[in-house]
């Protein structure tokens, strides 16, 4: 006896896709402005913004304009800004002393924003490249990027940022042992409430180029004689298991949250970290990712709003608790629509 075959499919997934209301009811992941951290660049001067040529639409802002950006973030529901400095070349040195000056550009921005918009969280960048004549994230001697001496400098930098009002410190240097050293110094200095979001799985990526332009490190790095470049301390893009070891190490040293960087090319790493550790996990949609979408949209090759939101929901789907993205303000406005 032949089985009876229904003249129509019993399962019709399209029923759930028929209207916006039905799609919203069964949507598995959601993106909101509170999932976003907005990276901004600060520069010297007053009441000025200079566009970063390789990141159309992204600017370097003077401190007063950074305060205005914080007010915009608050109004859009974006909970956190990450501040990166564009340091005057005259302040760069081999010893990077400006990195922990109480009056460094970043520290002045932290104090100004906290005074005006205290409800917005501030994240710092703990790395020496903006202050280093060699353009590296650590101190350089005889063509080598030094580890332990760099950690000592990074600790001084981190403590100065905590004192200036940073809520979250972001060690992005990839020196061994820096998270534990920073955590110990914060505890000893009375900053036990200051959080660490460690760039734990930071890869040596080609996607960082526009960022280096934005902070003024490209030229110095190109002229550096230190080893192979940042490949001596940032991770090999071919490695996965190593990322999990780096995450485990930083958590054991006192990191409160961890990050994978870059973002979309490494969503497989995000998923593995999320599943293995179940800790707050972030990813950075880096400057090269921004530049690709912005350039394609400018040429009419894709819809910018749709591409931005699709790219950001991919981070949430992979397991991110939040995303650092230069698209944060426009994404927040698009979500409100």
Active site members = 202, 261
Query: CA nearest 200: which of 238, 172, 239, 158?
Result: 172
Rounded to whole angstroms, how far apart are CA atoms 151 and 172? 12
- Specify burial of residue 137 (Cβ count, 10 A radius: 0-12, 13-18, 19+): buried
In the chain, DSSP assigns E strands to 36-43, 49-51, 59-62, 80-85, 121-126, 140-141, 144-145, 168-171, 195-202, 257-261, 281-285, 322-325
> In this structure, what are the phi and psi dihedrals at residue 131, rounded to the nearest 5 degrees?
-105, -5
Residue 59 contacts residue 50 (beta carbons within 8 Å): yes
Beta bridge partners of 123: 82, 168
Cis amide leading into 206 (omega within 30): no
Question: In the chain, what is the greatest distance between 2 CA atoms, to the nearest angstrom?
Answer: 89
Phi-psi region of 267 (alpha: psi -120 to 50; beta: other; left: phi over 0): alpha
Rounded to whole angstroms, how far apart are CA atoms 178 and 156? 11
Rounded to whole angstroms, how far apart are CA atoms 203 and 181? 22
- Specify burial of residue 19 (Cβ count, 10 A radius: 0-12, 13-18, 19+): exposed
């Amino acid at each position: 006896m032949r089985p009876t075959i229904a003249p129509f499919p019993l399962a019709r997934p399209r029923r759930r896709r028929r209207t916006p209301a039905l799609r919203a009811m069964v949507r598995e992941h959601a993106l909101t402005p509170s999932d976003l951290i907005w990276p901004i660049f600060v520069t010297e001067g007053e009441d000025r913004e200079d566009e970063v040529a390789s990141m159309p639409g992204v600017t370097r802002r003077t401190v007063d304009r950074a305060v205005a950006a914080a007010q915009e973030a608050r109004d859009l529901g974006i909970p956190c800004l990450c501040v990166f400095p564009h340091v005057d070349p005259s302040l760069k040195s081999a010893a990077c002393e400006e990195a922990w000056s109480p009056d460094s550009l970043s520290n002045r921005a932290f104090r100004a924003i906290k005074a005006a918009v205290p409800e917005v969280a501030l994240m710092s960048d703990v790395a020496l490249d903006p202050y280093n004549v060699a353009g590296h994230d650590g101190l350089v001697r005889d063509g080598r990027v030094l580890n332990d001496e760099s950690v000592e400098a990074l600790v001084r930098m981190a403590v100065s940022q905590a004192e200036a009002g940073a809520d979250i410190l972001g060690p992005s240097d990839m020196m061994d042992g820096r998270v534990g050293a920073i955590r110990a110094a914060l505890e000893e200095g009375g900053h036990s409430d200051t959080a660490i979001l460690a760039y734990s799985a930071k890869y040596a990526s080609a996607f960082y180029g526009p960022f280096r332009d934005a902070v003024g490190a490209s030229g110095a790095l190109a002229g550096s004689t230190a080893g192979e470049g940042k490949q001596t301390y940032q991770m090999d893009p071919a490695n996965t298991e190593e990322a999990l070891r780096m995450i485990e190490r930083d958590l054991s040293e006192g990191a409160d949250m961890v990050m994978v960087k870059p973002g979309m090319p490494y969503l497989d790493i995000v998923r593995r970290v999320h599943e293995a550790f179940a800790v707050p996990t972030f990813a950075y949609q880096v400057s090269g990712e921004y530049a690709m979408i912005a350039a394609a949209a400018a040429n009419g090759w894709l819809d910018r709003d749709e591409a931005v939101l699709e790219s950001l929901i991919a981070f949430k789907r992979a397991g991110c608790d939040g995303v650092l993205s230069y698209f944060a303000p426009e994404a927040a406005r698009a979500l409100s629509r």
